[in-house]
Structure 1
Amino acid sequence: MLQHPQIDPVALQLGPLAIHWYGLTYLAAFGLFMWLGHLRLRHPAFAGAGLAQPWAKRDVEDILFLGVLGVVAGGRLGYCLFYKPAYYLQNPLEIFAVWEGGMSFHGGMLGVAVAMVWFAHSRKRPFLHVMDFVAPCVPTGLAAGRLGNFINGELWGRVSDPSLPWGMVFRGAGDLPRHPSQVYQFLLEGVLLFLLLWIYARKRHATGQVTAAFLFGYGVFRFIAEYFREPDAHLGLLSLGMSMGQWLCVPMVLGGVGLWVWAGRRNTIAENG
């Protein structure tokens, strides 16, 4: 079995200023979004001369700015509501203590959706058209975040078979080897989802189907990864032996399937006039 390398979470110390690896992974996520967003402008659905509202590099910058606000606000509120509602109901001011940790992807996703509603309204673009632009640029950011989790030695996996070659002992998690679930999520929700979604999104599809593919793909990959990730200590496993993360993925998968079918039928009706 392997030992977690116990990397110092502080990447660089400049006097009183500490630059954390986790913060650097966020910067990497934002940089990757900008790069991929500019590439996305060349895809047929957004580079067409016949678009009522042509897309430009400024749109990518504005989406990133609003997206960051949505991720932080939604991620924090989602964690408070989904994972510790009773605690934060009794200690409402603790909601603002983001430096103490506690973010939810599903809450962040909802926060981004709200931010994109504002962007779509301000630019007079269909909401799902905006979400189709954003969706393929997201998984690399998720991959960067999981890399940060691994560096910090947090969100480790469940106890693994001692014979598992990559079973890893994490500081603070006891002496038994565990699944490096951060790496599993990095590979599934980050790398693999990006590759599949980017290839799919390069061609024209009915408006909303790229967003649907993201919802379905993330929901499935996260659901699988949760079988190897240690459930939150204060929640444990919920009904049907599923974790909170898995239950939150169920509506994503169902919503993705429903949206993909609805978007396809809507496009067919529009084409047939």
Structure 2
Amino acid sequence: MLQYPDIDPVAFSLGPLTVHWYGITYLVAFLAGWWLSTHRARKPGSGWNPDEIGDAVFYIVLGVVLGGKIGSLVFYQTDILLTRPLDAINPFSEYGWRGMSFHGGFLGVIVAFWLYARQTQRTFFQVADFFAPAFPIGLGAGRIGNFINGELYGRVTDVPWGMVFPHAGDLPRHPNQLYQFFFEGIVLFLIVWWFSSTERPRRAVSGMFVLCYGIYRFFIEFVRQPDADLGFIAFNWLTMGQLLSFPMILLGAWLLYSAYDKRTA
């Protein structure tokens, strides 16, 4: 069993201002995505001006934050949304901004891409294919924040690298956050970045990102502790994360198929 590094979730305080490591990981995620996208924009033939990236990142940040929170309420905290709606959306209440949903953030980013595409006279997939390779870095950073917070831990296990997490009992559990950091952050980044380094048909890069994320998330959920308020959705094994990830697998596969089918038709 490995020792869980019990890190204070609060990075530092300045008077009444408290800065959490989780917030810092989000900042790192957005800055890293900005830098990587600017790097891609500088490549000859990218079709993008590096000065455009900042405006796009603004849309993306709004999509991630608003979509992530709304998704958390709709998918995982429905009871709070229905019984205490004002508290649910009040950032200063005990429920306000508690939890973020990747799938909600994903839907929020889709809206952000659509809005930005309209503003810049581009197609949706011109925007999505360009920014998709940078997203895994943000996902990985967010999982480190989850690990520091001791949340989203895995199920009880006897593997040698199991950890005892705060507020999760005395039994060792899978360090699920680190699994997700590795597969959704590092591995997914390497795959999509490599895939996008060669000219691909429209929709292919987006399809690769969506397909791989859906597959990784679906299978990692088998060792992740189900959300306490929901438990298993069906069959005594299906979690909400799996239910939301399965459509991503289908969508990603369709995007890849349609991308290459259009090129060879």
TM-score (norm 2): 0.94
Which SS does the other structure have where 1:169 is aligned? coil
Give the whole-Å Cα distance in 1 for the aligned partners of 2:148 and 2:64: 21
Match of 1:63 in 2: 56
Asked if 2 retains the 8 angstrom alpha-carbon contact of 1:188 and 1:221, the reply is yes
Give the whole-Å Cα distance in 1 for the aligned partners of 2:26 and 2:222: 26
Give the whole-Å Cα distance in 1 for the aligned partners of 2:87 and 2:247: 28
Asked if 2 retains the 8 angstrom alpha-carbon contact of 1:7 and 1:151, the reply is yes
Offset from partner CA, 1:46-71 (integer Å, 9 cap, x none): x42xx8xx411122111111001001
% same residue? 50
1:25 aligns with 2:20: no
Q: For 1:69-218, list aligned pairs within 5 A.
A: 69-98=62-91, 99-161=96-158, 164-218=159-213
Gaps of 5+ in 2: none
Counterpart code for 2:247: P
Match of 2:6 in 1: 6
Aligned length in residues: 260
Give the whole-Å Cα distance in 2 for the aligned partners of 1:134 and 1:196: 14
Counterpart code for 1:57: P
Give the whole-Å Cα distance in 2 for the aligned partners of 1:122 and 1:149: 34
Which SS does the other structure have where 1:138 is aligned? helix
Match of 1:257 in 2: 253
Asked if 2 retains the 8 angstrom alpha-carbon contact of 1:207 and 1:267, the reply is no
1:228 aligns with 2:223: yes
Which SS does the other structure have where 2:253 is aligned? helix
In the TM superposition, residue 31 of structure 1 has moved relative to its aligned partner by: 1.2
Give the whole-Å Cα distance in 2 for the aligned partners of 1:220 and 1:144: 19
**Aligned Cα root-mean-square deviation (Å):** 1.4
In the TM superposition, residue 3 of structure 1 has moved relative to its aligned partner by: 3.0
| Dislocated runs of 4+, deviation >4 Å | none
Give the whole-Å Cα distance in 2 for the aligned partners of 1:19 and 1:224: 33
Give the whole-Å Cα distance in 1 for the aligned partners of 2:224 and 2:100: 16
66-75 or 95-104, larger mean C-alpha shift: 95-104
Give the whole-Å Cα distance in 1 for the aligned partners of 2:122 and 2:80: 40
Counterpart code for 1:196: I
Match of 1:247 in 2: 243
Give the whole-Å Cα distance in 2 for the aligned partners of 1:230 and 1:58: 43
Counterpart code for 1:226: E
Counterpart code for 1:61: G
Give the whole-Å Cα distance in 2 for the aligned partners of 1:179 and 1:4: 11
Asked if 1 retains the 8 angstrom alpha-carbon contact of 2:42 and 2:48, the reply is no
Offset from partner CA, 1:215-273 (integer Å, 9 cap, x none): 0000011112111110001111122321100110000000000111112222334xxxx
Which SS does the other structure have where 2:19 is aligned? strand
